[in-house]
C-alpha cells in the first residue's frame, strides 16, 4: 500500500471516528462535524477512479458505453470503432441517466479538477482515460441533495433537541457522506445511486401518506435504474408496515434478541422470494423472453465469474451485517423513543427480508441497497437520540463503515488486499 493510499485511509477512518464526539455529547461537536465533513469531501476529491467510475467517466466524456476497452497508441485516448456506433448519449443506460449525463456533459468541462491518487504508482499523476471530475461531482451533489430531501421529509414529523438546528444538518450531511450507500453509489454505481436516492424520498412521502407523490418518485427512479421501482416498492412497503406498527403501539418496546411477529413474516416473504429465484434457476425460466427474469441469468449461472479476491460472498456479508446489528442492538437495549424505534424496526425488517438471498452473492449485493437506505436512517436517528445508548449504537455502526472492506476497495482500489 502506497503512502498516498494510506493518507486517504487515514482521512476516511478518522472522519468516521470523529462521530464519537456526537455520541458522547463532548464539547466541540460542531467543530468535530465540520472537520469530519471536510475530511470526507477531501477523500472523494483525491481518491482514484476505481471499478465502474472509469466507465462512467468515459461515458460522460463521449456518450458511449465502454465494453471492449480503449486504445492510446499515440498517447491520445480513443475508443475502439465498434464502441462508437450511433448517436452519443442516445443508447444504453436508462433514459433519465442518459439525459442527466448529456446535461452534465454540456454544462461542465471534462478533465481532472484536482490531482487524484494513483494507487498503483503512489503519486498524483493522471493516467488512463480522461477524467470527468466536474460531471461526476455534479451527479454526486444531485444524489446528496436528494438524500437530504428524503431525510428532511422524514424529519418533518418530529425534531429532537439533542443538537442545534445547524448541528442537526451538519450531522445528517456527515452521515450521508460517510455512509456505505453514498460511497458505493457516488463512486461506483451512479445510476443506482440516483435512482435509490429518489426511492428514499418515496419512502418518506409514503410515511406521510402522500401516496401519489410517492408513486411519482417510484416511477421517476425507474428512469435511472430499471430495478429501482421494484426494489423501491419493497422499501416503501416495509416503511408502511413500520408506520402501521407505530400507530398500533407495537413499537413501544423492541426486544433486541427476539424477532417480532412482523419481522418473522417479513423473513418468510424473503424466503419465498429466494425459493422463487431458485425455481427460476432450476427450471430455466430465465431463458424465456420475460421482462426482468432474463436479467437474472448471469447472476445465477455464471456467478463464479464475478468472484475475485476482493469479492466477499453473500454468506460472509450476511454474517458481518448480522453481527453488526447484534452489537448495535446490545447497545440500544430498550428504547422508549417511538420515532427512533420506527427506524430501528425498519432496519431490522429490511435485514430480515434480504438475508434469505445471501446464498446468491451477486443478487444479494444488489438488493443490499434496501438495507443501506434503512441503515442510513437508523444511524441518523440513533445519533440524534436523547439516550446515550442509542447514540453509541449509531456511532458503532458508523465507525464500522470506516473499516468496511467494500468501502475501502472503492476508495483506494482492491490491490491492498493482495498484500496479505
pLDDT band at 158 (very low <50, low <70, confident <90, very high): low
pLDDT band at 334 (very low <50, low <70, confident <90, very high): confident
Residue given cell 430495478 in the structure block: 227
pLDDT, mean of residues 178-186:
96
Nearest to 221, CA basis, from 274, 269, 270, 185: 185
pLDDT tens per residue across span 12-57 = 999 999 999 989 888 889 999 999 999 999 999 999 888 889 889 8
C-alpha torsion angle, residues 226, 229, 231, 236 (rounded to 10): 170
pLDDT band at 276 (very low <50, low <70, confident <90, very high): confident
Tell me the pTM: 0.91
pLDDT at residue 126 tops 80 = no
Query: Which segment of 2-6, 152-156, 285-289, 327-331 scores lowest on mean pLDDT?
Result: 285-289
pLDDT at position 161 is 47
pLDDT tens per residue across span 219-236 = 999 999 988 999 999 999
Q: Which distant-in-sequence residues (6+ apart) come within 8 Å of 1 by Cβ?
A: 412, 416, 419
Domain parsing of the chain, residue ranges: 3-51+133-419
pLDDT, mean of residues 319-335:
91
Bridge-based pairing state of the strands 70-71 and 78-79: antiparallel
pLDDT at position 77 is 65
Return d(Cα 303, Cα 86) in angstroms, integer: 31
Query: Which segment of 105-119, 150-164, 167-181, 208-222 scores lowest on mean pLDDT?
Result: 150-164
Across the chain, mean pLDDT equals: 85
pLDDT, mean of residues 269-285:
81
Amino acid at each position: 500500500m502506497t503512502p498516498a493510499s494510506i493518507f486517504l485511509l487515514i482521512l476516511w477512518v478518522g472522519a468516521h471516528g470523529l462521530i464519537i464526539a456526537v455520541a458522547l455529547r463532548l464539547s466541540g461537536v460542531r467543530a468535530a462535524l465540520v472537520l469530519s465533513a471536510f475530511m470526507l469531501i477531501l477523500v472523494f476529491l483525491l481518491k482514484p477512479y476505481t471499478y465502474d467510475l472509469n466507465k462512467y467517466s468515459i461515458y460522460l466524456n463521449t456518450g458511449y458505453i465502454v465494453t471492449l476497452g480503449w486504445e492510446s497508441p499515440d498517447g491520445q485516448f480513443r475508443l475502439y470503432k465498434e464502441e462508437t456506433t450511433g448517436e452519443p448519449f442516445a443508447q444504453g443506460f436508462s433514459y433519465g441517466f442518459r439525459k442527466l449525463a448529456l446535461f452534465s456533459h454540456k454544462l461542465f468541462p471534462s478533465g481532472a479538477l484536482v490531482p487524484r491518487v494513483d494507487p498503483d504508482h503512489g503519486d498524483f499523476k493522471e493516467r488512463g482515460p480522461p477524467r470527468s471530475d466536474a460531471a461526476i461531482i455534479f451527479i454526486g451533489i444531485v444524489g446528496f441533495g436528494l438524500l437530504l430531501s428524503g431525510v428532511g421529509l422524514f424529519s418533518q414529523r418530529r425534531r429532537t433537541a439533542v443538537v442545534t438546528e445547524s448541528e442537526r444538518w451538519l450531522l445528517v450531511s456527515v452521515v450521508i457522506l460517510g455512509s456505505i450507500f453514498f460511497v458505493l453509489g457516488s463512486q461506483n454505481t451512479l445510476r443506482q445511486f440516483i435512482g435509490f436516492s429518489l426511492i428514499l424520498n418515496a419512502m418518506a412521502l409514503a410515511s406521510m401518506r402522500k401516496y401519489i407523490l410517492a408513486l411519482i418518485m417510484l416511477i421517476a427512479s425507474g428512469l435511472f435504474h430499471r430495478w429501482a421501482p421494484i426494489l423501491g416498492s419493497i422499501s416503501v412497503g416495509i416503511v408502511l408496515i413500520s408506520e402501521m406498527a407505530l400507530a398500533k403501539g407495537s413499537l413501544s418496546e423492541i426486544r433486541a434478541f427476539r424477532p417480532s411477529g412482523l419481522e418473522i413474516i417479513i423473513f418468510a416473504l424473503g424466503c419465498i422470494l429466494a425459493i422463487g429465484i431458485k425455481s427460476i434457476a432450476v427450471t430455466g425460466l430465465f431463458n424465456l423472453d420475460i421482462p426482468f427474469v432474463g436479467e437474472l441469468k448471469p447472476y445465477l449461472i455464471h456467478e463464479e465469474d464475478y468472484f475475485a479476491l476482493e469479492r466477499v460472498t453473500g454468506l460472509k456479508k450476511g454474517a458481518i451485517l448480522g453481527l453488526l446489528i447484534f452489537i448495535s442492538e446490545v447497545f440500544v437495549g430498550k428504547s422508549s423513543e417511538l420515532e427512533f424505534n420506527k427506524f430501528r424496526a425498519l432496519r431490522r425488517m429490511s435485514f430480515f427480508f434480504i438475508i434469505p438471498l445471501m446464498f446468491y452473492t451477486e443478487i444479494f449485493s444488489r438488493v443490499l441497497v434496501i438495507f443501506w437506505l434503512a441503515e442510513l436512517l437508523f444511524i441518523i436517528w440513533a445519533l440524534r437520540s436523547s439516550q446515550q445508548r442509542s447514540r453509541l449504537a449509531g456511532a458503532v455502526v458508523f465507525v464500522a463503515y470506516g473499516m468496511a472492506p467494500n468501502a475501502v476497495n472503492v476508495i483506494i482500489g482492491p490491490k491492498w488486499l493482495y498484500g496479505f
